[in-house]
Amino acid sequence: MTETFAGFGQKAIPFLKALDFHQSREWFQENRELFESELREPLGNLVETLSERFGAAGLGLRGDRKKSLFRINRDVRFSKDKRPYTNHVSAILSPDGTKMEQGVFFFYLGLDACFAAVAWWQPEAAMLQAMRRSIETKPEQFRKLVAVLRKSKLELGTQGAMKRMPRGFEHVTETDLAAAIRNRHFVVRRDIDPAVIHTPALADILVDFAAQARPLLDWGRAIQGTVVPLSQG
C-alpha cells in the first residue's frame, strides 16, 4: 500500500552537504539509515503519491519506488570525476513507468537546485525531426502551445540548442520558429522553494505544475503518434 508523501526529512539537505564533503563509501555506509529515512523513502513516497494523483488527473504518467528513482551512486567508469556519489536525488515518472520513455515528469532535489520538469528530452532522430517539422508546417498550433504555457509562467528551455539551423529547415526565418526548431529538447521547468520540500504541500505544487505543463505533453504525444522511423521513411 502506498504511503502518502509527508515531506522530506529535516536532515535531507544537511545529509547531501555532508555526503558531498566526504564523498566516501565508508561514510555513506555508516550513514545509510539517515539517507534512507530522510531522502530515499520520502522520494519513493513522493513518486507513488504523484503516480496516483497523475493517474486520477489523466496525465498518463506513472512510476514507483523501484523503477523511478535514480541511484545516488555515480557511474565513474568513463568520467574524469571519480567522486562516488551525486549531491542530489532525482526521479522520473513516464507513460510506462520506466526511465526509457519520452514525454516525462522529472523531479530533482539537490544542493544546487530543486526543480521539476516536464520534458521531451533527447528524442530519437525521427521524433525530433517530426517535432521540428510540426513547428514549421503548423506554426499557429505551436505558437498557441507557447502562449498557453506562458499563461502559467512556463517557458520552453533552450539548453543544448543548436547554433545553426538543422539541415532542411534553413528556409525558416521567423525568429520564434527558428529558435524552437534549433532545440534538441522540448522542456518546461519550475523551480521549487527548498522550504517546501519538508511538507506535504510539495506534492500539490508538483501536481499543479504537471497539469500546467500538460499542453507540452499533449503536443508531443500527438506528433509521436504520426512518427515513422527514419529507416522506413
Give the closest residue to 7 by CA, choosing from 190, 191, 201: 201
The b-or-e profile of 101-139 (16+ CB within 10 A means b, else e) is ebbbbbbbbeeeebbbbbbbbebeebbbbbbbebbbeee
Contacts for 32 with CB less than 8 Å, ≥ 6 apart: none
Residue range 46-65, pLDDT digits in tens: 999 999 999 999 999 999 99
Q: What is the mean pLDDT of residues 196-219?
A: 98
State the pLDDT confidence band at 232, using cuts at 50, 70 and 90. Answer: very low
Complete domains list, the chain, with CATH: 12-224 (3.30.930)
pLDDT above 90: residue 212:
yes
State the pLDDT confidence band at 78, using cuts at 50, 70 and 90. Answer: confident
Residue range 128-185, pLDDT digits in tens: 999 999 999 999 999 999 999 999 999 999 999 999 999 999 999 999 999 999 999 9
Contacts for 85 with CB less than 8 Å, ≥ 6 apart: 19, 20, 23, 28, 72, 73, 74
pLDDT at 230: 56
